[in-house]
């Protein structure tokens, strides 16, 4: 995947059994391939943020950010004082001490903080969340958002459509990178999202790509053998 041309890849700590040690290895592989390694956290946890950033992540995708205070907490966990509250360690990201000054400067200029919009509370507070300094963009979590509306997985439900319309209008007007997760490996849907104004796009995930390729390939083979 790192060699296939993606701009960034996310290591998922929220819905997987990946350990922090395995995350460090994945971050290293992705970064050494010239791709930006991001980490989707299991929670808006300053300790976990510190550890993955020390491991060399270029940024974090933070779940369940439902208020400006949540957003501020995430930014402060990524950055050192006085801009943030992150504790200082000398690990891979800091060149084990030799590149600390470079890393400190890089953090404020290049590191990425993306908030997940996956609850109706986030939708209702989206404008103030995105106004927080240091938030670079957002990404919609469609399954959890629909769940917060009481209609899990029903993306065509009127309440879900209304929430998505509000996200699109508010998010694109914010000047921050508007993002969405295209869950199935469907290039037509991804292009549709681009036309809608989304620019931070998560294209499927490894298990869906693998499942889709296996099923479509076997279906094609079996249809020719009948």
Tell me the catalytic residues.
15
CB atoms within 10 A of CB 179: 22
Query: How far is 94 from 65, CA to CA, in rounded Å?
Result: 28
116 touches 139 (CB < 8 A): yes
Phi, psi of 180 (to 5 degrees): -155, 150
What DSSP line would sit under 18-85, residue for residue? Answer: --HHHHHHHHHHHHHTT-EEEEE-SSS-HHHHHHHHHTT-SEEEES---SHHHHHHHHHHHSPTTT--
Phi, psi of 156 (to 5 degrees): -95, 5
Residue 10 three-state SS: strand
Residue 142 three-state SS: helix
The pair of three-digit structure tokens given for residue 168, joined into one six-digit string: 């699109």
DSSP secondary-structure letter at 15?
Answer: S
């Amino acid at each position: 995947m790192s060699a296939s041309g993606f701009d960034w890849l996310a290591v998922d700590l929220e819905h997987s059994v990946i350990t922090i040690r395995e995350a460090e290895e994945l971050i290293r592989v992705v970064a050494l391939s010239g791709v930006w390694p991001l980490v989707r956290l299991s929670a808006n946890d300053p300790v976990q943020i510190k550890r993955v950033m020390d491991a060399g992540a270029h940024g974090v995708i933070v779940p369940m950010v439902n208020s400006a205070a949540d957003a501020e907490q995430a930014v402060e966990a990524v950055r050192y004082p006085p801009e943030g509250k992150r504790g200082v360690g000398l690990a891979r990201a800091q060149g084990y001490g030799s590149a600390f000054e470079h890393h400190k400067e890089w953090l404020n200029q290049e590191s990425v903080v993306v908030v997940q919009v996956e609850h109706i509370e986030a939708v209702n507070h989206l404008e103030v969340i995105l106004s927080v300094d240091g938030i670079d963009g957002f990404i919609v979590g469609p399954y959890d958002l629909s769940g917060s509306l009481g209609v899990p997985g029903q993306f065509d439900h009127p309440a879900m459509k209304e929430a998505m319309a509000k996200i699109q209008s508010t998010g694109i007007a914010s000047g921050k990178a508007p993002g969405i997760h295209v869950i199935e490996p469907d290039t037509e849907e991804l292009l549709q999202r681009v036309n809608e104004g989304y620019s931070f796009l998560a294209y499927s995930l490894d298990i869906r790509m693998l499942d889709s390729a296996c099923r479509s390939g076997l279906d094609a083979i079996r249809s020719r053998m009948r």
